[in-house]
Homo-oligomer: A and B are copies of this chain.
Amino acid sequence: MRCDILVVGAGILGLSSAYHLKAENPGRRVVVIERLRGPGEGNTAKSEAVFRDAFTSETNRALAASSIEFFKHLEQRGYNLRLAFTGYLWLLSQQQFDRVREAIRDMERDGVRLTLYQREELERMIPGLVTRFEGDEEAELMGLPPIDIGLLAHNCGCLRAEALVKTYEALFLRLGGEIHYRVEARRLLLGAVEELGLPGEPHVWQEPRVKGVETDGGIIEAETNVVATGAWTGKLLEPIGFDPCMRPKKRQIFVLSDERLSSLFDVEGFNQHRVLPFTILPKSNLYLKAEPYERSVWVGCSDEIGRAFELEDDPQPELEYYKDDIYPILMKYLPLFKDLRPVNMWAGHYAVNSFDGHPIVESIPGLIYVGAASGSGIMKCDALGRIVAALHAGRAEAELFDGSRFRVADLSIQRRRTERERFVI
């Protein structure tokens, strides 16, 4: 098979890229291949599926804010993404607040909509919230910080990942794009820009070019091969000597659902959905997402040191991890959760760029790589798709959905220029 543009991976970054590439190149044959049976069945479906524009880094804000605008636009056009602006709520100790005070001021200056809450307000608004642990020996052993301040970011919330990825699929198909599911890319085919027909090409004195992909269903040749395979990217890029600057790390989400939690779906003052915002506790970045449509609570946690960087074939959630790591924190701050056990849970992988946490969009002849989104691929997907399309077209700048312009090379490896995120709790 031959095509003009081949996109490997029908996750959120692959389909957003495919859509924008096809939109810019209506006369070209754009093909997506995906080893799974449908769109977003890899780590897209395993995501928390939340979004925020509350960042200090211009890079982060530009990518996320413009993508959020596009999500709103899609809903206005009738695509139901289950977009819910429930907000992000960081619960902070005074000490944590002091560390990010300047970052908060800068975000406000840059137009991020934020509201601060004092402890007493939080106690009133969030059912059963514990903010002080004096005399609680366990809490002291665990080093649980008190809650002194709440920071709510408004232009944030959650959506249904499956709905978003299916929307991009539909948009792409409507333009005449092709998708082949259950086709697995085995390796990239590397040749020379000017082939001489010698064995062993490309030799070191030849300019290399990615010519296509060997799949389990045969060879597909393409002018441009877009690798958007998330946590699996190393398997394709490392053999040709392209470092994806990304490592896979397990993520786990635990779902709780119980009559007792219904008060979290009747919370006044934070958002029009009357649900607890996406809430980050002041310990271990433990987060809760009150899913407003399912009325369940998703819980997860960032385990940095202690959790291996590795790619598992079939990652499984670990109930022990919920019981020994997450639950002890959760039930201290929110005793509502006492004795509750997950009704559902799953595990996937993050594709982590440990260097600066920003996504990567890089190219060599015949190849574009988009990935390493480090847990924020969904919230940045539309901007990244547009940047891929701009890179393919050879433009130095991409125009994002909100009209802002983004320097394509800023996300490259070789000419990278990203701002370190300072709003880190």
Q: How far is the CA of A247 from the CA of B247 in the complex (A)?
A: 11
Whether the Cβ atoms of B301 and A204 lie closer than 8 Å is yes
Cβ of B241 and Cβ of A306 under 8 Å apart?
Answer: yes
Cβ of A41 within 8 Å of any chain B Cβ, yes or no, is no
Report the separation of the CA atoms of residues A204 and B304 in the bound assembly, to the nearest whole angstrom. Answer: 8
Interface residues of A in 136-155 (CB under 8 A from B): 141-144
Smallest CB separation, A137 vs chain B (Å):
11
- Assess A305 versus B143: contact at CB under 8 Å? Given A205-B329, A243-B247, A355-B413: no
Instruction: Give the contact stretch, choosing among A71-79, A178-186, A262-270, A319-327.
Output: A319-327
Give the one of A304, A320, A326 with max B CB within 10 A: A304
Residue from the list B196, B245, B306, B328 in contact with A354, Cβ < 8 A: B245
Are B141 and A196 in touch, CB under 8 angstroms? Answer: yes
**Would you call A347 an interface residue if the criterion is a C-beta within 8 Å of the partner chain's C-beta atoms?**
no
Decide: A354 and B143 in contact? CB cutoff 8 A: no
In the complex, what residue of chain B is closest to A304 when comparing beta carbons?
B241
What is the minimal beta-carbon distance from A304 to any residue of chain B, in angstroms? 6
Q: Is the CB of A305 within 8 A of B416?
A: no
Q: How far is B329's CA from A284's CA once the two chains are assembled, in angstroms?
A: 55
Nearest CB in chain B to that of A332: its residue: B205
Query: Nearest residue in B to A234 (C-beta to C-beta)?
Result: B309
- Report chain B residues within 8 Å CB of A247: 238, 243
How far is A143 from B143 in the complex, measured between Cα atoms in Å?
63
* Residues of chain B within 8 A of A141, CB atoms compared: 194, 196
Q: Does A170 contact B (CB under 8 A)?
A: no
Interface centre among A142, A143, A198, A305 (most CB of B within 10 A): A305
Which of B205, B239, B324 contacts A203 (CB under 8 A)?
B324
Given A196-B141, A354-B413, A355-B416, A240 contacting B204 (CB threshold 8 A): no
- Is there an interface contact between A243 and B308, defined as CB atoms closer than 8 Å? no
Complex interface: chain B residues within 8 A of A190 (CB): 305-306
Contact residues in B for A329 (Cβ distance below 8 Å): 204-205
Contact A204 B303 (CB under 8 A): yes
Contact A325 B196 (CB under 8 A): no
Cα distance A182–B414 when bound, in Å?
Answer: 39
Among B205, B238, B245, B413, contact of A284 (Cβ-Cβ < 8 Å): B205
Distance in Å: Cβ of A91 to nearest Cβ of chain B: 15
Check A205/B325 contact, CB under 8 A, given A243-B352, A247-B238, A354-B243. yes
Neighbouring B residues of A304 by C-beta, 8 Å: 241
Contact A208 B328 (CB under 8 A): no
For residue A242, CB closer than 8 A to chain B, the reply is: yes
Distance from A207 Cβ to chain B, minimum over Cβ atoms (Å):
7
- Tell yes or no: A310 within 8 A of B by CB: yes
* Complex: A326 Cα to B208 Cα, angstroms: 16
| Contact A306 B204, beta carbon cutoff 8 Å | yes
Contact of A283 among B205, B309, B352 (CB under 8 A): B205
Which 7 A-B pairs have CB atoms at the shortest separation, nearest pair first? A243-B354, A204-B325, A208-B305, A238-B309, A204-B284, A241-B307, A142-B205
Listed in ascending order, the chain A residues whose CB lies under 8 Å from chain B are 141-144, 190, 194, 196, 198, 200, 202-208, 238-243, 245, 247, 249, 283-284, 286, 301, 303-310, 320-321, 324-326, 328-329, 352, 354-355, 364, 413, 416
16 contacts between A and B (CB under 8 A): A141-B196, A143-B205, A143-B207, A203-B324, A204-B325, A204-B326, A204-B329, A205-B283, A205-B284, A208-B305, A239-B310, A240-B308, A241-B306, A243-B354, A245-B354, A355-B416
